[in-house]
Structure 1
Amino acid sequence: MIHVRTSRHTARAATAALCCALLAACAGAGGAGGGSGTHSINVLMVNNPQMADLQKLTADSFTKSTGITVNFTVLPENDVRDKISQDFASQAGQYDIATISNYETPMYAKNGWLAPLTDRAKADSSFDQGDILPSIRESLTASGQIYAEPFYGESSFLMYRKDVFAAKNLTMPDHPTWAQVADLAARADGAQPGMKGICLRGQPGWGEVMAPVTTVVNTMGGTWFDKDWHAQVDSPEFTRAVTFYVNLVRAHGEAGASQAGFTECLNDMTQGKVAMWYDATSAAGALEASGSPVAGKVGYVPAPVERTKSSGWLYTWAWGVQKASKKQDDAWKFISWASGKGYEQLVGERLGWSRIPAGKRTSTYVNKKYVAAASAFAAATKNALTSVDPLNPGVQPRPVPGIQFVGIPEFTDLGTQVSQQISAAIAGRVGVADALKAGQARAEAVADKHRGQ
């Protein structure tokens, strides 16, 4: 939301990954290059590091074996979302495949923008659809049809510096509550020169600060809407959760928190500026990468809770085929390769096992080479992904699925607007009550529309 959406070395390695992504974006169409075949497909995708790895490997592996040239257009998350929605909504067919998430997939399917993939997945025995983790598989299914296949998946968990905790005689519970995390953040604050207790996203965006905030809202008893489409943004539970989050990050969070997102927190954790970090499970691969100064020093425990048994989010970047595409056979061949077991093997052998696009297949977590390379976080990631429930992430029924988002088209705008107010509260420019009052008015307008349907 990563992902973010997901992904995620040392400051030096993180910078290198960013440079690769930027170079990939500049490459644009034809980024995969080469190929002696006459077939080609156009792929529009987000510029996350996992996708940069994919682009490097496509020509020498996929194109060489199939004769299908892949023309990549690679853009930052906000830009790629806009471009995908425009092209798929108009069914212009400029792009055969695009990276979409479990947020967009059900809505795109309902609108008739995606080609169903169920029959292709069933006919392709080597793909092994049954190996896809149930939570991921179900999040990409609508009305009994598969509409996207995952490239990688993520949940969220709490990361902490084991060495710092040991030096301060602090103990991280196996299943921490948010009250315990707040206490630990206060006690770890200043454990090393310049170190803060915790990093929490504060950057505006429905996929930035609203992702972790909404998981806190869920476990503290709140919800965006009740089952009858009544807005709950200024409810006591929602207000208490946001107040807790804002107070925690203001008191013991990273410098510049109101503009810190996934990348900033990754850098802070890698550089030893924070003792804890609550964020995407996909971050662990970067923290444990070769050359990372914190590799081997980080512990991983489930997302903190209060009133629920679990509270991690669920997100996947997946491949969707535009219904208007005239190259659906070739598109499936690419998806079957990029989301298949063989691609994970290829990345592991060529780039390192900690860099495989994990979080989507059961077999990944019994692969001895991956489990050895990712021993610090593999089990914690799998547990996070298998314990989520998008239909019931809180303590009361919801009108639509979603954990860190609400599965309606309006949430991109609603979530972004509320996130701007919460970021302002983190910066000290507005109080939480006033921030959520403005959010409630916007949420009520959305609720009125859905109650009338």
Structure 2
Amino acid sequence: MKKRIVALLMVLCMCTGLAACAGKQDEKKSEKSSGDEIVVSIATLNNPIVSNLVKLAQEYYDEKGVKLDFAVLPENDLREKATLEASTGGTTYDIYFTGPYEANFWITYGWAENLQPYLDKMTEEQKESLDLDDIFPSMLDSLSDPETGDVYALPFFGEASFFMYNKELLDNAGVTMPENPTWDDIYDIAAAVDDEAAGITGMTMRGAPGWGMSGAPFVTMINAMGGKFYDMDWNATVETDEQRAAWEMYKNILRDAGQDDIITYTYNECISLMNSGKCGIWYDATSNGPNLEAEDSLIKGKVGYAPAPSGWLWNWGMNINPNSADEKKQAAFDFMVWACSKDYVNLSLEKDPSGASTPSGVRASTYELDAYKDLPYAQPTLDALSDLDFNNPCKDEVPYVGLQYIAIPEFQEAGDKMTEALAAYVTDEITLDEALATTQKAFEQAAEEGGYKK
């Protein structure tokens, strides 16, 4: 399995021109700038909360002899480059931002540094600031070795998912959001709010292909409608009535009441549209709530939050490249402790009282702070996190775990193929039958190549 993935990534490396980085590995291994300054290179994503980390780190992180070099990448690019680097022993980056899906097999393949030795020798000041006992167990466990309990990444922010809606636009359309909406409810509300003549979009969701892009909301929609990807014998179950209903619902919402240029939308475009005050509903991560309540948001104070019929669970954590030089590893760990600490939470709230810069969904103490607990999205986020069952994602029993993804290495390829078929179906390039057949084949192949099907 590992050989197959590495071979695939090597081909990708040559095709994208990234293989040139391999020739720089020795140079990067011992890279220091003048005056023995250690340069810590960090591969991160262009998410608002992380972008604020970059800004605050450049202004407030002051570790003598250490320089931080951030590479801020679109999420799909980050996944591609991080996986390529990790699987080929690259040293372009010393810290990767990754999530539980990557942790699931990066730990097995030795692509991430075991942080336990670093945690064990922290200073008392670091121990107090990081306070591992304050981190929600589900967030820390998802980045740890399930057999030994050793931690391989520190969670920076976590998220579930919920509906965010513009109360003013719903009122104008004469509709009300139920306390526990179904997807049928959401379609009806979005259709009522949508007003092309007035430039009002009924609902926005991620439409850009990628298992972590459009795949995130779409898979939870499949779960909510009783769909699944495999039965208990690892037979693919895509061509079913339940899956068909989810595919049709996703298309109907976005075609009848969604954004223009559906398949170009990542969460960044969704944020912009929702923040413009011209969109009724957005289904996405709870970590986006703070951005809608930021001081520069046109809909600050106008947003309501409702639970998803079936949500997702994720966090973005930081892990250390095991191929980096030892002095860079320690410098990287020290930065990670600072960024993932209670002190950083307090700093982010001090600089931005709206909470838009504050890492959410990771620490219990964050939701006890007077400056945070009464923010409009705080309690809905806690509720969304508490309602999830990572180990039982579907209505029927299934042989896998994971909510918006299946926790097997092969899902990355199968999930990408699924979302490519989804985009083609939404834009009428292929029929639903063709999209389902393509996806069925992709998941059958994943089960066979992974050796799950007996």
Q: Is 1:129 the counterpart of 2:132 in the alignment?
A: yes
Per the alignment, in what secondary structure is the counterpart of residue 52 of structure 2? helix
RMSD: 2.4
Which amino acid counterpart does residue 336 of structure 2 have in structure 1? I
Closer, same or farther: CA 445–360 of 1 in aligned 2, 3 Å: same
Closer, same or farther: CA 301–86 of 1 in aligned 2, 3 Å: same
Matched with 1:318 is 317
Q: Is 1:201 the counterpart of 2:199 in the alignment?
A: no
Question: Residue 403 of structure 1: CA displacement?
Answer: 1.0
Distance 1:385 1:35 in 2: 46
Distance 1:212 1:299 in 2: 19
Per the alignment, in what secondary structure is the counterpart of residue 223 of structure 2? helix
Q: Is the deviation greater in 39-48 or in 228-237? A: 39-48
Q: Structure 1 residue aligned with 2:86, among 63, 70, 88?
A: 88
For residues 129-148 of structure 1, the aligned pairs below 5 Å read: 129-143=132-146, 144-148=149-153
Distance 2:297 2:437 in 1: 43
Closer, same or farther: CA 177–216 of 1 in aligned 2, 3 Å: same
Distance 1:288 1:318 in 2: 24
User: Contact 2:230–2:399 (CA<8 Å) still a contact in 1?
Assistant: yes
Per the alignment, in what secondary structure is the counterpart of residue 244 of structure 2? helix
Per the alignment, in what secondary structure is the counterpart of residue 203 of structure 2? coil
- CA-to-partner distance for each residue in 1:232-267, whole Å, 9 max, x for gaps? 121221112111221222222222223323222222
Closer, same or farther: CA 85–196 of 1 in aligned 2, 3 Å: closer
Closer, same or farther: CA 253–86 of 1 in aligned 2, 3 Å: closer
Question: Residue 318 of structure 1: CA displacement?
Answer: 0.7
Distance 2:358 2:184 in 1: 34
Task: Report the TM-score when normalising by structure 1.
Answer: 0.84
Q: Is 1:58 the counterpart of 2:57 in the alignment?
A: yes
Closer, same or farther: CA 187–109 of 1 in aligned 2, 3 Å: same
User: Contact 2:48–2:357 (CA<8 Å) still a contact in 1?
Assistant: no
Matched with 1:409 is 409
- CA-to-partner distance for each residue in 1:246-290, whole Å, 9 max, x for gaps? 122222222222332322222222223321111111221221111
Matched with 1:8 is none
Matched with 2:171 is 166
Matched with 2:186 is 181
Distance 1:288 1:312 in 2: 22
Question: Residue 86 of structure 1: CA displacement?
Answer: 2.5
For residues 39-50 of structure 1, the aligned pairs below 5 Å read: 39-50=38-49
Which amino acid counterpart does residue 378 of structure 1 have in structure 2? A
Matched with 1:392 is 392
Closer, same or farther: CA 400–141 of 1 in aligned 2, 3 Å: farther
- CA-to-partner distance for each residue in 1:51-110, whole Å, 9 max, x for gaps? 332222224432x24543223333332332222222222334443221111110111001
Question: Residue 215 of structure 1: CA displacement?
Answer: 0.2
For residues 43-442 of structure 1, the aligned pairs below 5 Å read: 43-62=42-61, 64-121=62-119, 124=122, 125-126=127-128, 127-143=130-146, 144-190=149-195, 193-303=198-308, 305=309, 311-325=310-324, 326-327=326-327, 328-352=329-353, 353-372=355-374, 375-442=375-442
Matched residues, percent identical? Answer: 35
Which sections of structure 1, spanning at least 5 residues, go unmatched? 1-28, 306-310
Distance 2:348 2:110 in 1: 34
Distance 1:149 1:279 in 2: 23
Distance 2:143 2:397 in 1: 21
Q: Is the deviation greater in 259-268 or in 440-449? A: 259-268
Per the alignment, in what secondary structure is the counterpart of residue 72 of structure 2? strand
- CA-to-partner distance for each residue in 1:104-144, whole Å, 9 max, x for gaps? 01110010121222354355422111211222222212222
User: Contact 1:233–1:439 (CA<8 Å) still a contact in 2?
Assistant: yes
Closer, same or farther: CA 427–273 of 1 in aligned 2, 3 Å: farther
Closer, same or farther: CA 293–73 of 1 in aligned 2, 3 Å: closer
Distance 2:259 2:74 in 1: 24
Aligned residues: 413
Task: Report the TM-score when normalising by structure 2.
Answer: 0.84
Closer, same or farther: CA 452–163 of 1 in aligned 2, 3 Å: closer
Which sections of structure 2, spanning at least 5 residues, go unmatched? 1-27
